[in-house]
Chains A and B, each alone.
Chain A
């Protein structure tokens, strides 16, 4: 069965600092990986996805993630965060039928 683990429930960081949000997955078949962001009182919005090809994926708002098959990881990074990046971030995995399996979420808090 598929599962996703986000290792950090909360990540506080200062503005303009780099950040990495960690995500590990388990699956017995080919996987497709996603990062979603949820701003307060809003739905989830896709940041980026990995389906195939280059293991370094670039998304919106300056975020990127790297698929590492040997470590079963898909960590999200941003070289310099802004106050507006404060939100909850969810890593998710899917098989071909589209069902998303989410991790527990990481609350990113950017401080001035």
Chain B
């Protein structure tokens, strides 16, 4: 069964460093998302991506964040200069061809720890 994969599973970085979180969505999907979950808090929407551009972003998704689909398979989230409060589990999701209300399939997440 197709699935969304994410690498790495755990990333530790120093404050101020850049990190890139990688996701491989399901191959025929068209809509891509990033969410995050700070420990003990709810899952929060960060950004959605369709047709090679951002379709919606949250207030959290400031200039320190960027997304890219560099090739036909990967979908990346870059944090330019990490802060302590960026420590969270980051989930990638993708959905299919019928529209944005198609089921979103989530990856297992990348746990980011900023020291």
* Interface residue? B100 (CB, 8 A): yes
* Interface residue? B4 (CB, 8 A): yes
Contacting chain B: which of A18-26, A40-48, A67-75, A78-86? A40-48
Chain B: interface residue count, which band? Answer: 20 to 34
Enumerate A85-99 residues with CB–CB distance to B below 8 Å.
90, 94, 96-99
Task: Work out how many contacts link A and B, with CB atoms closer than 8 A.
Answer: 60
Alpha-carbon distance between A45 and B56 when the two chains are bound, in angstroms: 22
Alpha-carbon distance between A73 and B111 when the two chains are bound, in angstroms: 32
Chain B residues in 8 Å Cβ range of A109 = none
Chain A: interface residue count, which band? Answer: 20 to 34
Which single member of B48, B58, B93, B108 contacts A97 (CB below 8 Å)?
Answer: B48
* Interface residue? B44 (CB, 8 A): yes
| A105→B42 contact, CB < 8 A | yes
Interface of B toward A, CB cutoff 8 Å: 4, 31, 33, 35, 41-45, 48, 55-56, 58, 91, 93, 95, 99-101, 103-109
- Top 10 A-B residue pairs of the complex, sorted by shortest distance between their CB atoms: A98-B100, A43-B106, A102-B43, A44-B106, A43-B108, A104-B42, A46-B103, A99-B45, A102-B42, A43-B107
| B43→A90 contact, CB < 8 A | yes
| B109→A98 contact, CB < 8 A | no
Chain A residues in 8 Å Cβ range of B109 = 43
Least CB distance, B98 to chain A, in whole angstroms: 11
